[in-house]
Amino acid sequence: MKPRRKIALLTSCPETGHGRRIMYGLTAQCKKYNYDLAVFCALSALNTAMEDYTLGEKNIFNLPNFDLLDGVIVDTAPLLDGHGTEHLDIIYNMLKEKCSKPVVALDMPIHDIPLIQNENEEVLREIVRHVVNVHGKRRVCVISGARDNFAGRFRLETYVDELEKLGIDVPEEYRIYSDFWYTGGSKIGQDMVDGKIPLPEAVVCGNDYLAIGLIYRLTKNGIKVPDDVIVMGYEASEEGAGYDISVSSYEVNDALSAANCVDYLRQRIDPGLDIDPYTTTPHLCPGMSCGCQPDYARSVKAIHDHLYFTCPNYADEDIKDNVDIGLLMESYISEEFTASETIADCIRNINLKTYLIFPFLNFYLCLKEDWMDVRNDITVGYPDKMKIVAVNTTVHELYFHDDEHSIVFDTSLMIPRLYDNNDEEPSVYYFAPIHFSCNTLGYAVLQRSLDDKHTPNLVFRNWIRFVNNALEMARAKQRLLTMSVRDEMTGAFNRRGMYIEVEKMLEECSEGDNVFVCVIDMDRLKFINDNYGHHEGDFGIKTVSNAGFAVTGKDEIFVRAGGDEFYIIGVGDYSAESGKDRIKEFNIAIQRLTDKARKPYPITASVGTALRKAEKNINLEDLISKADEEMYQHKAAKKVQRVS
């Protein structure tokens, strides 16, 4: 069977209105063409002041294996760094280096990558027509984003062009470049209040955020909207619908632009196959700001969707289809995650709380194999192997959150399920970064049906943040535990760890088992310290430790008793010959390490062993003393040899 085509999307902040709209277009077209959609998304804005956190988020763009994908869409707008293009430039260079498949940019140009420009010109013109033809306004001010921002310039120029076609001249003082945020609208509003900009009859804004900031500043200073001036927004955001003076705005055509990107790729990856165009009809979403009859139902829904309900209707049949931020927070998920006593408890709790991010087909938590080891933290890229440590499903029987069932796979596959699902309906896979600060731990994968209109929202974003914090807390607890039972220099168990582990071994021992102890003591450490320095003495201790680790069995423990003395302890089927064999193995191991080190001094150690029948009340210190006696006999014999 021919493998299903797979389209990749690179984006961020999928919970925004823009993110939701483009997903409608992408999923609709992928459904028509039987394509899988893999969305690699940072879950935060890329211009946040927390640079290390942003670095951890951006690393998700290093995950895609473009050799296994058929086409790539770059959603440019949310990948901008404020007014700059630093992040887009990085992605462009990565694609040029690693991707030989067709690539298309959505909305804004990236160097020489083919561009599917938004289909919103007619929408922008309709906003102007509404102001002039419906409300009869002729003194119109237009404000948009920065002049060097492609979208900002395009929107302002389109507004002005349509006004001129309607016979309205727009003076320079009414052609205002600002930014696409509340602060830009607020500043312009203050300039109008102060008389720096003459108060117009109407203001057409480049988006709803500008409109909200403008309305806030005007009304705060006694200028009434819409009585004194009408204000029009653009993008029909939930923020605009839910504002005190709801913003009259037009829906944008992002879904159509996104769908056109899929059609563009289809023409290149499946040439000759039919194109089924996406159709949509953007419309006015009337609010209070222009004087039209407001769409109160839309405003109420926008407010409802963002309310923090402390007592949601848990009896509602649709609870799994309508999870809100209140349910997330009132579940005390953060407290439960971080209270996990062990790594296993933490992973289990995470998997049990995946119901908060319903609906989904499958959920996968993929972590580095060594994610708990802070010595191997990485900030850029992913290791060659990843481990699926937890899976939850609503369509299969695969469900686990224990190490026994964990699945190690080649990271190049991104997620194995993506390549063995041709018997199923096509899906959308959301890949989200799992990290703490800039340290990458892995990624989560949320698989949903292409028919599902839900996209990753604020609940998902904050759920992932709780997971990030919980995993780091688990790592911190593991480090503290390790420090309490391990020696920092060598990684061997300390005496506390020794007693804990020996007690476990004795509880699990069988009839006829023996306790085996091997004592290893470095020779002439003082000589090395005095003649070559303590750093060389430490090197010698680590060399002895490495040799000891090398000959320690998988069911045995290696202990640093203190200074330059080490123990190997085991419980099992040992015989009188075990001690001799172990001494021989150790001498070979340390000789090999010494030869490799090529130090001007020999690194040797004296070894003694002892054996006793395993009993739960065994006197371990007495057995160690027996091995210690034999070790000192060997050490004494070496001194005699050196003297003679």
Q: What is the DSSP string of 487-553?
A: -TTT--B-HHHHHHHHHHHHHT--TT-EEEEEEEEESSHHHHHHHH-HHHHHHHHHHHHHHHHHT--
Q: How far, CA to CA in Å, does 150 sit from each of 147, 157, 171, 261?
A: 7, 11, 22, 19
Tokens matching residue 216: 């806030």
Q: How far, CA to CA in Å, does 530 sit from each of 123, 227, 520?
A: 83, 91, 22
362-368/605-613 β-pairing: unpaired
d(CA 361, CA 358): 9
User: Does the structure show a pLDDT above 60 at 319?
Assistant: no
Burial of 473 (0-12, 13-18, 19+ CB in 10 A): middle
Question: Which residue carries 């407001």 as its tokens?
Answer: 294
CA-based nearest residue to 232, from 122, 129, 121, 161: 129
User: Does the structure show a pLDDT above 80 at 311?
Assistant: no
Exposure string over 88-120, b if 16+ CB within 10 A, otherwise e:
beebbeebeeebebbbbbbbbebeebebbebbb
Give pLDDT, residue 484. 85
- In a 13 Å sphere around the CA of 143, the CA atoms on its Cβ side amount to 30
> What mean pLDDT do residues 593-618 have?
94
Q: Report the DSSP beta bridge partners of residue 75.
A: 106
Whether the model pTM is above 0.85: no
User: Does the structure show a pLDDT above 90 at 568?
Assistant: yes
Give pLDDT, residue 323. 58
Sign for the pseudo-dihedral over CA of 237, 241, 245, 249: positive
202-205/514-522 β-pairing: unpaired
Q: How far, CA to CA in Å, does 603 sit from each of 520, 522, 587, 596?
A: 13, 8, 11, 11
- What band does 379 get if pLDDT is binned at 50, 70 and 90? very high
To the nearest whole percent, how much of the chain has pLDDT over 70?
A: 96
Q: What is the mean pLDDT of the chain?
A: 92
Mention every residue, 6+ apart, whose C-beta is less than 8 A from residue 315: none
Give pLDDT, residue 453. 84
- What band does 642 get if pLDDT is binned at 50, 70 and 90? low
User: Does the structure show a pLDDT above 70 at 313?
Assistant: no
User: Does the structure show a pLDDT above 70 at 92?
Assistant: yes
Give pLDDT, residue 196. 97
What backbone torsions phi and psi does residue 165 show, to the nearest 5 degrees? -65, -30
d(CA 96, CA 5): 21
8 and 36 Cβ atoms separated by less than 8 Å: no
What backbone torsions phi and psi does residue 450 show, to the nearest 5 degrees? -65, -20
Cβ atoms < 10 Å from Cβ of 266: 24
- What band does 581 get if pLDDT is binned at 50, 70 and 90? very high
